[in-house]
Amino acid sequence: MNELVKEYLDRELLRFTTAGSVDDGKSTLIGRLLYDSKAIFADQLEAIEMASKRRGEEQINLALLTDGLRAEREQGITIDVAYRYFSTPKRKFIIADTPGHIQYTRNMVTGASTANVAIILIDARNGVVEQTIRHSYIASLLRIPHIIVCVNKMDLVNYSEEVFEKIRADYENVSTKISVKDIRFIPISALKGDNVVNRSENTPWYDGPSLMHLLETIHIASDLNFDDPRFPVQYVIRPNNDEFHDYRGYAGRVASGVFKVGDPVTVLPSGFTSRIRSIDLFGEILPEAFAPQSVTIQIEDDIDISRGDMLVRSDNLPTVGQDIDLMICWLNDKPMQVGNKYYLRHTTTGMRCIVKEIVFKVDINTLEELPGGSSLQMNEIARIRIRTSQPLVYDPYEKNRTTGSLILIDEGTNETVGAGMIK
């Protein structure tokens, strides 16, 4: 992957999620980021000023920017996943503000599933607690490449370096049990704005960047998999007009890797082979395409290819199989039972599957493995085995977050009931 492409990807959209215990200040932190970076419209600011006054609060409650549901405001907690969009001259951002309560584990998994960065908030007065371990495990399970540990409410411990360093040491001890490549630590006060957008004079002992500077500059281009070319076909383009009389192109989004004109490709699951004739993008012919570009690929041979098939480079093949091991977070109040059948969605394909076994459950507060049993309740995380009705083309999730993830759907209600990561 050349440096120009990496530079382009690093300027692209960054998705991040916030996680922490109840009252650790997640919503306040997001409000502070938006407020100090001038990403709030005047009418939004006026509305939260009025809402804060009605609640009898002396200063603007920035948490109200994301706690949008009436039930959330009444309880002072986050229930739903709140998404906020903003940009700075250096980068665009999508924030997923997720709940801290254990009964909303499924909401956190949903909000964090596409994140580049997880911001884990720790209350400086309480240090590393059970929820910190749980949220870090979920971030690790979802293979979020970067964790930023924000030690919040530093103003309530007199901006103590000793408190910050103890929490850093405790968290580093916990992080030996999880798999995350990049962990950073920042002492902040979301309420006062210390080290959120601007560096704070109250922490002269901290020589790192502010949170906003880190979010703007953190290197995310290398997080994408450029080693394994995968192209799930989304749509077959047949214009059938005089200008493109014999045109047959396969449209989709490059899930990973790089495809170049002339590359030998294999169509899965059929196994037929060909070469790439052209790569098209809005009338422009490209010499190569890379993740996460959406393009149309033409191949040299006339092969029966339809939505749900996958083009891969012939010298780099994924796994094709029907017996799948995966970690799953159960999202539905109706329990999953061994022997139940579900509809599976994976990239652009879908098929039926049956749950064969629950290998073990994970206690997400202690990270212990528990006996699997025969059912899985809402918000539980487990390792399971399924068998699909036809061959599935996949990579392990830790290698490829796109081709290694799937969802299970209840065919009776059409609800998404499980989010899975293939082992």
- Using one digit for the tens of pLDDT, what is the confidence trace for 369-391? 999 999 999 889 999 999 999 99
The Cα 129–Cα 20 span in angstroms is 10
Check residue 70 and give its pLDDT. 40
The answer on 199 and 101 residing in a single domain is yes
What is the pLDDT confidence band of residue 78, given thresholds at 50, 70 and 90? very low
Model confidence at 3: pLDDT above 80 = no
d(CA 298, CA 276) in angstroms, rounded, equals 6
**Does 85 lie in the same domain as 15?**
yes
pLDDT band at 258; cut points 50, 70, 90:
very high
Same domain for 31 and 60, yes or no, is: yes
Q: Among 282, 267, 349, which Cα is nearest to 314's?
A: 267
Q: What is the pLDDT of residues 144-184, one digit of tens each?
A: 999 999 999 999 999 999 999 999 999 999 888 787 879 99
Domain end call among 222, 251, 286? 222
Do residues 292 and 398 both lie within one domain? no
When the pLDDT of each residue in the chain is averaged and rounded to a whole number, the result is: 87
Residue 9, pLDDT above cutoff 80: no
Looking at the fold, whether 217 and 142 belong to one and the same domain comes out as yes
46 and 128 together in one domain:
yes
Considering 313, 328, 353, which residue would you say is the last residue of a domain? 313
Q: Which two tokens stand for residue 254?
A: 């490059």
First CA to last CA distance, the chain:
27
Q: What is the pTM of this model?
A: 0.84
**Could you tell me if 158 and 57 lie in one domain?**
yes
- The reply to whether 354 and 284 lie within a common domain is no
Q: Domain range spanning residue 340?
A: 319-422
* Contact call for residues 282 and 251 (beta carbons, < 8 A): no
CATH number of the domain enclosing 37:
3.40.50.300
Pick from 313, 345, 377: which residue ends a domain?
A: 313
Choose among 167, 156, 279, 219: nearest CA to 3: 219
Identify residue 116 by its one-letter amino acid code. N
* Closest to 229 in 3D by CA, of 400, 359, 389, 114: 400
Is residue 239 located within the same domain as residue 169? no
Percent of the chain residues past pLDDT 70, beyond the cut: 87
Residues 63 and 202 in one domain: yes
Same domain for 78 and 205, yes or no, is yes
236 and 364 within one domain? no
Q: Which band of pLDDT confidence, cut at 50, 70 and 90, is reported for residue 99?
A: low
What CATH number is associated with residue 243? 2.40.30.10
pLDDT above 60: residue 77: no
Domain count, the chain: 3
Under the banding of pLDDT at 50, 70 and 90, the label for residue 59 is low
| Cα dihedral 240→243→248→251 (10° resolution) | -100
pLDDT given at position 101: 58
